[in-house]
Amino acid sequence: MSFINSILKHPYLLAGMGGAIGSIGRVLMSNFVTRFAGEEFPFGTIAVNVTGAILMGVLAGYGESEPGKLLFSQSARTFLMIGLLGGYTTFSSFSLQTFLLIEQGNITGAFLNILLSVLLCLAGIWVGFMAIRAIL
């Protein structure tokens, strides 16, 4: 029992364990969907991102009984929301943050989050590709 208690005191271990489980779940879901939908379009990735966003919404919604009052311990939130869902998909975090901006009435912030996330991540992919292509 002291081994489990020591893990609960280390958020990095919790996030890492959750991330490992989430990553396995991502591969399983993506392969399952791809088996039926084919590989011509990334339906497996979309399925992962949508199910991850749904799960993040469920955990975030259930995790707060009223604003500011958490029902989950910080350790449980680290394991589930950062670790498990972070390993499964970071798109769920992006979606939750955008939703919260909208819910707070910060439409400009939500739009900016969407715009910057999509454009900068696409640009990041391009930079990475160009760097590797220049080296190889």
pLDDT tens digits, one per residue of 18-32: 999 999 999 999 999
Domain match, 96 and 118 both:
no
44 shares a domain with 55: yes
Say whether both 55 and 7 belong to one domain: yes
Provide the percentage of residues in the chain whose pLDDT is more than 90.
Answer: 46
Q: Domain limits at 114?
A: 106-136
Decide if pLDDT at 70 tops 70: no
Question: How many domains does the chain divide into?
Answer: 2
Same domain, 65 and 39: yes
Q: Give the residue-averaged pLDDT of 110-121.
A: 91
Residues 10 and 20 in one domain: yes
The candidate with the shortest Cα–Cα distance to 21, out of 91, 95, 85, is 85
Q: Compute the CA torsion angle 30, 34, 36, 42 (nearest 10 deg).
A: 110
Same domain membership, residue 113 and residue 101: no
| Contact partners, residue 49, CB within 8 Å, separation at least 6 | 89, 91, 92, 95
Question: Are 113 and 71 members of one domain?
Answer: no
Q: Please check whether residues 9 and 27 belong to one and the same domain.
A: yes
Tell whether 82 and 121 lie within a shared domain: no
**In this structure, are residues 20 and 59 in contact, taking their beta carbons and an 8 Å threshold?**
no
Residues 62 and 88 in one domain: yes
Give yes or no: residues 68 and 95 share one domain.
yes
Share of the chain above pLDDT 70, in %: 90
Q: Indicate if 111 and 64 belong to the same structural domain.
A: no
